[in-house]
Chain A
Amino acid sequence: MNKSTKIEMNEVIGFGLLRLAMVIVVAILGVILFDIVTKGYGVISWEFLTSAPRNRMTEGGIFPAIVGTIYVTFITAFLAIPIGISAAIYLSEYAKQGRLTRIIRLAIRNLSGVPSIVYGLFGVALFVENLNFGYSLLSAGMTLGLMTLPVVITASEEALKTVPKSHREGALALGATRWQAIKGNVLPSALPGMMTGAILGLSRAAGETAPILFTGVAFFLPFLPDNVMSQFMALPYHLYVMSTQHHSILQVRPLAYGTALVLITLVLTMNLLAIIIRYRFRKRFKQV
């Protein structure tokens, strides 16, 4: 009797601790979001969102940084999405079990573990120097694109795998070639899953600072980039500048909060979009 109550106590305390851990993690997220939303909210205005920084970046808005982030994310998308999806199609539809496939998979997993600052060094060596793209949107976007590639490949392959085998076999049995089967029957079903992965990858790229630090981002530009070879401002780097590099950091703290709020709103909206698409996608497959 005595012993059994002791064991039950273990259970209560143990599960209580697990619950506590869960509460702590959710609270961390809560504190981060609460702090930035409450202190950044007051700074957001139409002017803040649509004008350039003024008066040695102590006034004005963050419009060039918003535009720069959107531009560079587009270049990232142009590089990472087609290549990533094609690589995933190879791995899921064509590749046979073998040494080559194993090496490709190993390379992808390792690429996703390469630190972002190393991608930055790689970008400097390859795009800025060797290919002579210089400090530009193009160099930065391509560096981010390579960084995003493993995310897109992994997510797209997952999506392709969820499409039932019968989709392929049905088409092949009717005389379709393998590519026709993929194009007509597999890709349409896998598309939402692929989109989820692509959006998640891009949202991470949009928030990255280290890879663009030396490949094209500018401290301050009063105008917008006019072509892919120009330098640009970006939200994450702007936040870094406003919180550590500015000559009067405390004075511009509210502007830094505003920038942080815009940045997480952008990134979390993309995240949320991805989560919603996936949720609906899963539901559809469950009904089938």
Chain B
Amino acid sequence: MKNKKSNQAVFMLRNRKKSRLRESGYKYFFLCNGLLAIFVLGGIFYLLLTNAWPFFKEISLKEFILTKSWNPTGWNGASYGILSMVVSTLMVTFGAMLIAVPLGIACAAYLAEVASPGFREVVKPLIEILAGIPSVVIGFIGIVVLGPLLARILGTSHGLNAINGSLLLSIMSLPTIITLSEDAISSVPIEYKRASLALGANKWYTLIKITLPAGLSGIVAAVMLGMGRAIGETMTVLMATGNAPAFPTSFTDSVRTITSSIAIELGEVPYYTTHFHGLFAIGLILFMMTFFVNLVSDLILNKYQEVE
């Protein structure tokens, strides 16, 4: 009798042990999936680095960064410089931000402070739909609508240039900027606004002098994320900027960005040549640029959450 009871106790204990084992099994299974994110990010960096390595053995970093011309298949010797591409990317991105930042913040302010709940309910899905339009379709619009329009305004033969790319990229980064800035503006404590209004400031004055400055760090983070998206965008610029590999001098020039260069050349290049590895080197630079922009945005956002 006694024996039986203790048997039962042992059995229960063992059972509990088993279920505890199973429980921690589940936990570690889910942990592994979480860790995968680190592995993928690390893997991207590692594979870009190892594939770019043979390139840097032949071409010095200085030459790579300071040479204007990228012409791996040139008759009089190849040249591997990314300066023109980097300047093109920065130019198109700058142009896009010039349009998207004021427009995006204005929309965010409108949605957060002025619009009725009903209006918001309708417009927010519309902005999501804008975000959902594939980049290749935006690029197509650049070719069929914006290109001819710009050509007529500028009096050029085609409108595939940096302005076109900037306009399209501003469309692509608007949803990010609007959505995140609206979150930042909405999370400004209502006491701030009430205090301002109670002191006799009107709503516009309150928005400009109180609410926007209070939400500024969140807005800056939103703009940085939108900028990261613009820097890394490929299809739109590939289709709409004309892809002239020269050093750009004005916004009416055709430009060829970092992303377009990879997209154009990776399809034609023989594998494991200097040129092939060079494309990974370009990719590495691009990866580091966007990584930096995202990291800064992240830091700003974290700091801002702590203040709250």
Contacts and interface: CB of A to CB of B under 8 A. Distances in A.
Contact of A87 (B30, B123, B127, B271): B30
Interface in A37-85: 83
Interface stretch (A185-193, A223-231, A259-267): A259-267
A246 interface: no
A31 B26 CA distance: 50
Contacts of A32: 133, 137-138, 141
Nearest to A19: B110
A86 B33 contact: yes
Contacts of B48: 118, 121-122, 125
A25 B141 contact: no
B291 interface: yes
B40 A271 contact: no
Contacts of B233: 115
A209 B262 CA distance: 13
Interface in A17-34: 17-22, 24-26, 28-29, 31-32
A8 B200 CA distance: 12
A163 interface: no
B96 interface: no
Contact of A214 (B30, B111, B266): B266
A90 B28 CA distance: 9
Contacts of A247: none
A36 B108 CA distance: 27
B202 A11 contact: yes
B295 interface: yes
Contact of A116 (B232, B294, B295): B232
A218 to B, nearest CB: 11
A141 interface: no
If over half of B's interface residues share one DSSP class (helix, strand or loop), that class is named, otherwise mixed; here it is: helix
A234 B225 CA distance: 29
B294 A26 contact: no
Interface string A175-205: 0011100000000000000000000100110
Contacts of A130: 47
A138 interface: no
A179 B23 contact: yes
Interface stretch (B61-69, B77-85, B279-287): B279-287
A2 to B, nearest CB: 15
A216 interface: no
A102 to B, nearest CB: 10
Interface in B100-124: 102-103, 106-107, 109-111, 114-115, 123
Interface in A243-269: 243-244, 253, 256-257, 260, 263-264, 267-268
B286 A94 contact: no
A93 B140 CA distance: 44
B199 interface: no
Q: Which of the four size classes fits the interface of chain A?
A: 35 or more
B220 interface: no
Of the candidates A26, A83, A129, A210, the one having the most CB atoms from chain B within 10 angstroms of its own CB is A210
A171 interface: no
Contacts of B295: 110
Contacts of A19: 110, 114
B283 A121 contact: yes
A104 interface: yes
A239 B204 contact: no
A118 B44 CA distance: 8
A263 B141 CA distance: 14
Of the candidates B109, B130, B140, the one having the most CB atoms from chain A within 10 angstroms of its own CB is B140
Interface in B17-54: 19, 22-23, 26-27, 29-31, 33-38, 40-44, 47-48, 51
Contacts of B110: 15, 18-19, 21-22
Contacts of B38: 103-104, 107
B162 interface: no
Interface in A80-128: 83, 86-87, 89-91, 93-95, 103-104, 106-111, 113-122, 124-126
A18 B112 CA distance: 11
Contacts of A239: 136-137, 140
A175 to B, nearest CB: 11
Nearest to B160: A244
Nearest to B208: A14
Given A210-B263, A213-B266, A271-B132, A87 B37 contact: yes
Given A11-B202, A90-B30, A204-B132, A110 B35 contact: no
A29 B143 CA distance: 16
B139 to A, nearest CB: 8
Contacts of B239: 240, 243-244
A19 B228 CA distance: 27
A35 B141 contact: yes
Given A25-B103, A113-B291, A264 B137 contact: yes
A110 B262 contact: no
B210 interface: no
Given A29-B130, A118-B290, 4 more contacts: A11-B202, A87-B34, A106-B298, A110-B41
The 3 A-B residue pairs with the shortest CB-CB distance, nearest first, are: A115-B232, A207-B134, A21-B106
12 contacts: A10-B202, A29-B129, A93-B30, A107-B38, A113-B225, A115-B232, A118-B286, A200-B132, A210-B259, A239-B140, A240-B238, A271-B129
